[in-house]
Chains A and B, each alone.
Chain A
Amino acid sequence: MSQHEPHLLLQPAPMLRQGMNTPRAMLDVWLALLPATLAGIWFFGLGALLVLLASMAGALATEWAFTPASRRRAAIGDNSALLTGLLLGLTLPPGLPLWMAFLGAAVAIGIGKVIWGGLGHNLFNPALVGRAFLLGTFPIAMTTWAPSGGPFWEIPPSLLALPFQSPAYDALSSATPLGLMKFEQQGTALPELLLGNTGGCIGETSGALLLLGGLFLLLRRDFDWRIPAGIFLAAATFSALLSLTGDGYPGPLFTLLSGGMLLGALFMATDPVTSPLTPRGAWIFGLGTGFLVVLIRVFGGFPEGMMYAILLMNAATPLIDRYTQPRVFGRGGGRDRGEQTS
């Protein structure tokens, strides 16, 4: 499969975009996400599957509409749009109206990717751009959580709201472990967090299966392990320090296993396009994200901070890359800094 390469690369060495080709890496990510996705569908029922499908359909339709006819086969065929759709779907609440999921995916591809020049040129993680747009646009729908563990075939009525119409909610809605912690100072048992039978986004609840997928990607060397390692390290250390103060802040294990932490750290922060290329940069990126997550969760207005933490660090990625360039061989030395050699 031929890939569309830019004609002129305007960036300093290293020119290597990590040695792997797009379709193979995409396939690995698909495989790694499969267990957690199936678990989400199992817990939240058919409705969750429909939300995922709507999101993927929105992503595909947008990619198709904005790609010139001559490049459509390659652009659709590399599976990246479909993956963006799936990743976005996994971060949506299971009762979200289908039209919102479709719209979010359209924004993810349109504003998150196509506008920047397509795959490999975007500054921000497209799936998270879509999610940020949805959270800002429909804050109530995005924070109303259909309960897990109901009858599989039962579809929440909110799901089928007509386009541009408000969803009608069941009286039954649940809270996420993070929401319970933030607004009611109530913890959730760790086994439940690992298993995934809690309220939350479709793909974020099952900690154990997400870790399994991450392990698979790690063994296949599909991502830079320093990024998730940095996130976990910073988040665990910061939250441990906070919980030591004894003011009822959640401890490190809860911090790592709740909300979008695992999904974000393993599958979104590691996106090679929007994370730094250098090992030192990857550490900075990971540690910064982990620190920001806890900062937003504990001191911000939102219960969850993973999305904003990753997006903020995405914005810092070009800067991190610039300041962590390895020194050109034979130049500099002594007190010279890397940037002075240019």
Chain B
Amino acid sequence: MAREQSSYESFIKGLWRENPVFVQVLGMCPMLAVTNTALNSLVMGLATLFVLMGSSFLVASLKHLIPKQVRISLYIIIIATFVTIADYTILALLPAVHKELGAFIPLIVANCMILGRQEAFASRHGVRMAVVDAAGMSAGFMFALLALGGVRELLGNGSLFGVDLFGPGFEPWVIMILPPGGFITLGLLLLLFNWIAARKRAFLAEVAATEREML
């Protein structure tokens, strides 16, 4: 890496420019499976945040002790430990949510975003930067989960975080709660995200062109 990014840049890139879902298209399995309500999205986001920050911290601290040949196995052991801790904690504290999320909490271990951050970032940077990067990536992931879960709960249930917004006469869009609704909404959100990014690029190009003319 040419220069060390500032912590702010490092955080914000995970949220937007390198958003794990909308730009890198990682972690699709929990993204599509558990986002039928905003609450489920939030719990999944928090669990992922906990796992990613914990593993990034450990991997960055221990990076000189981890032999390269077995690093992937060691990363997975570290991630799996944090996932198990998250799994039991949710089961004890929020049994109803755990029932809904079901197998997808243990499956956080298979979220390639988490292993990807260890390999691509935490193992090559200092502890502070690794934690900031993990926080940014998890925040970006949670932002995407909440965007998807919010839309799906709003249309599929007429509520947000369980609070009814449309009154009793609301006709629920059943498909939004079901897997096809997840796919359709995710596709439309990707479209929206790319459209905004394209608009921004076009705008910047125009600004640059005007500046050249001025010179």
Contact = CB atoms under 8 A, between A and B. Distances in A.
Q: Do A and B interact?
A: yes
Interface of A: 97, 111, 115, 133, 136-139, 141, 161-162, 164-167
Interface string B14-31: 000000000000000000
A136 B171 contact: no
Interface stretch (B46-54, B59-67, B172-180): B172-180
Given A136-B175, A137-B175, A167-B171, 20 more contacts: A97-B171, A111-B184, A133-B184, A136-B178, A136-B180, A137-B173, A137-B174, A137-B176, A138-B171, A138-B174, A141-B171, A162-B169, A164-B158, A164-B170, A165-B169, A165-B170, A165-B171, A166-B169, A166-B170, A166-B171
Contacts, number: 32
Q: Assign chain B's interface to a size class.
A: 10 to 19
Contacts of B171: 97, 138, 141, 161, 164-167
B166 A164 contact: yes
Contacts of A111: 184
B170 A138 contact: no
22 contacts: A97-B171, A111-B184, A115-B191, A133-B175, A133-B184, A136-B178, A136-B180, A136-B181, A137-B175, A137-B176, A138-B173, A138-B174, A139-B174, A141-B171, A164-B170, A164-B171, A165-B169, A165-B171, A166-B169, A166-B170, A166-B171, A167-B171
Interface string B161-201: 00000100111011110101100100000010000000000
B174 A136 contact: yes
Contacts of B174: 136-139
Contacts of A137: 173-176
Ranked 3 nearest A-B pairs via Cβ: A136-B175, A166-B171, A137-B175
